Structure 1
Amino acid sequence: MSAASDDTMTRIANDRISVEISPLGAEMQSLKTADGRNFLWNGDAAFWAGRSPILFPIVGKAPSDTVMIEGKPYPMAQHGFARRSTFALAASDETSCRFELASSDTTRSVYPFDFRLAVTHSIDGSKLTISAEVENRSDRPMPFGLGFHTAFLWPLPGGEGQAHTIVLDNGGEPAMTRLSGGLIDPTPLASPFTSGKLTLSHDMFDEDAMIFAEGAGTGLTYAAEGGPELKFSFDNLPNLALWQKLNGPFLCIEPWHGTAAQNGTSADLESRPYTVTLPAGQTARFAFTAELPG
């Protein structure tokens, strides 16, 4: 098979799965198995128009939608600007494609650094890997956050009527935090996990996202009991959030490196929890892999 693209979409496929990616935000639009099941949320705006946005150069909100960088204020919308930016298709073949976003006068007006953000989708058998590489092309250290915000169907295809669970590979019971006005309330809350297992219910999201800043580990399984399951592994993504909006039929599994600003703190970008400060000329990579049912 060969990669296919047009003005709006690039498709990669093998005999197990296929993926479609839009140049807007380098955002995945579908994730299907060979039998036609789509495991990705369809972006119905009645619930949430996103599907799998890339979060850069911040994750979450900033106080008054403003970040302070090198002592100057810059406007910055929730989750940054990458998800609203058009990426260029830099390379593609049958089973992978790479989209790139480079700094411009537009980006420098809100984020005063030269950078390249490359997002690659690749498939191998029934596994999908999405990676993001951030290159600092400036002459000074560059602070940023990077996150993935992928929405998977809930219930999973073939799992209708079954309880759905998240099981952490490390068996942990990480402390949870919540948002207040879109910012992190640092007060630690009791973990909803028991021996690494969380049985999901829609009312868990009445107070917005469940955020696990540390302790969730580097892998998990999202499954319908007795039905299909998705297995995840995370690379250089120490933070995890789970989110759903308006009882929508999806669950966002969000591995991050960086979180929203904490309530009551400054808007300084470098002081945000888990911010990456990348030296000049260096590149950092972040990735997750999802394995679909056979």
Structure 2
Amino acid sequence: MVIELKNDFLTVQFKEFGGALSSIKDKDGVEYLWQGNPEYWSSQAPVLFPICGSLRDDEAIYRPCTHPHFTGIIPRHGLVRKKNFTYEQISDNSLAFSIRATDETLANYPYDFELRIVYTLVDKTISVTYQVTNHEKAKAMPYFIGGHPGFNCPLLFDERYEDYYLEFEKEETCTVPETFPETGLLDVNKRTPFLEKQNILNLDYALFAKDAITLDKLASRSVS
């Protein structure tokens, strides 16, 4: 089934697997979303819940007040990105996907959660809203949630990757933690200078010679 939102500017498609975006095309047919080439990265725009990133050996340790601690297995980027969501059409320009806790998730993440993702298309903008509900009666539910969209870069055949840049909302001076791609873990105490009084980061493949860069000390709350 093709799940789609469309207006005069964009045609946006989605899939129930992961409740995620699968295509963003403008009126000229230019594809903005990464199309999941497994040679590099097979995903497109996974939703990360209830963790973003990795745990050591994928183990979450829980220490309830009334019982001995126990462990659950939560793989990198969480439990829902490879699950089928329930689809709901809200209006001509808005739709939602939802997922509830199951026996499988409860065995590893012992919280009765409900996650609803609402996508709204307005002109040239796709708004994404995450609605997380804790159905537990007597305990708080720790979680992280995040989007992980991949974008095509360059977009056009006569462009180069190096023609692109990231522009931060504010001027930034920051360091970044050391990354360990084999485990997905970070050493937040071992840091390297990265940005120095700048709001522009020119893109270059050499930036990602050691996997992703984690910008955990930014003043900006948005980037273009």
Per the normalisation by structure 1, the TM-score is: 0.69
Q: Specify the alignment match of 1:115 in structure 2.
A: 113
SS of residue paired to 2:171? coil
For residues 103-151 of structure 1, give each alpha carbon's deviation from its aligned partner in whole angstroms, at most 9, with x where no partner exists: 1112111111101101111110111111211111112100111111100
Larger Rg: 2
The answer as to whether partners of 1:25 and 1:86 remain within 8 angstroms in 2 is yes
Q: CA deviation at 1:46?
A: 1.4
Q: Specify the alignment match of 2:102 in structure 1.
A: 104
Give the distance between the partners of 1:190 and 1:36, measured in 2 at CA.
40
Q: Which stretch of the first structure deviates more once superposed, 207-216 or 80-89? A: 207-216
Structure 2: gaps of 5 or more residues: 64-68
The answer as to whether partners of 1:91 and 1:98 remain within 8 angstroms in 2 is yes
The answer as to whether partners of 2:176 and 2:193 remain within 8 angstroms in 1 is yes
Give the distance between the partners of 2:24 and 2:155, measured in 1 at CA.
12
Cα 1:193–1:220 change in 2 (3 A) is farther
SS of residue paired to 1:40? coil
Q: CA deviation at 1:163?
A: 1.9
Q: CA deviation at 1:174?
A: 2.8
Q: CA deviation at 1:100?
A: 0.2
How do 1:55-94 residues align onto structure 2 when only pairs under 5 Å count? 55-70=48-63, 71-94=69-92
Per the normalisation by structure 2, the TM-score is: 0.90
Amino acid at match of 2:223: L
The answer as to whether partners of 1:25 and 1:87 remain within 8 angstroms in 2 is yes
Amino acid at match of 1:210: I
Amino acid at match of 1:213: D
How do 1:4-153 residues align onto structure 2 when only pairs under 5 Å count? 6=1, 9-70=2-63, 71-139=69-137, 140-153=139-152
Amino acid at match of 1:146: I
RMSD, aligned CA: 1.5
Give the distance between the partners of 2:186 and 2:113, measured in 1 at CA.
27
Give the distance between the partners of 1:185 and 1:156, measured in 2 at CA.
34
Question: Runs (4+) of structure 1 moved beyond 6 Å?
Answer: none
Q: Does 1:209 align with 2:212?
A: yes
Q: Specify the alignment match of 1:269 in structure 2.
A: none
Q: CA deviation at 1:192?
A: 3.7
The answer as to whether partners of 1:178 and 1:207 remain within 8 angstroms in 2 is no
Give the distance between the partners of 1:72 and 1:95, measured in 2 at CA.
44
Q: Specify the alignment match of 1:188 in structure 2.
A: 191
Q: CA deviation at 1:216?
A: 4.6
Give the distance between the partners of 2:158 and 2:128, measured in 1 at CA.
25
The answer as to whether partners of 1:166 and 1:198 remain within 8 angstroms in 2 is yes
SS of residue paired to 1:219? coil
Give the distance between the partners of 2:175 and 2:191, measured in 1 at CA.
6
Give the distance between the partners of 2:177 and 2:156, measured in 1 at CA.
30
Give the distance between the partners of 1:56 and 1:82, measured in 2 at CA.
6
Q: CA deviation at 1:155?
A: 0.9
The answer as to whether partners of 2:74 and 2:108 remain within 8 angstroms in 1 is yes
Structure 1: gaps of 5 or more residues: 1-5, 222-294
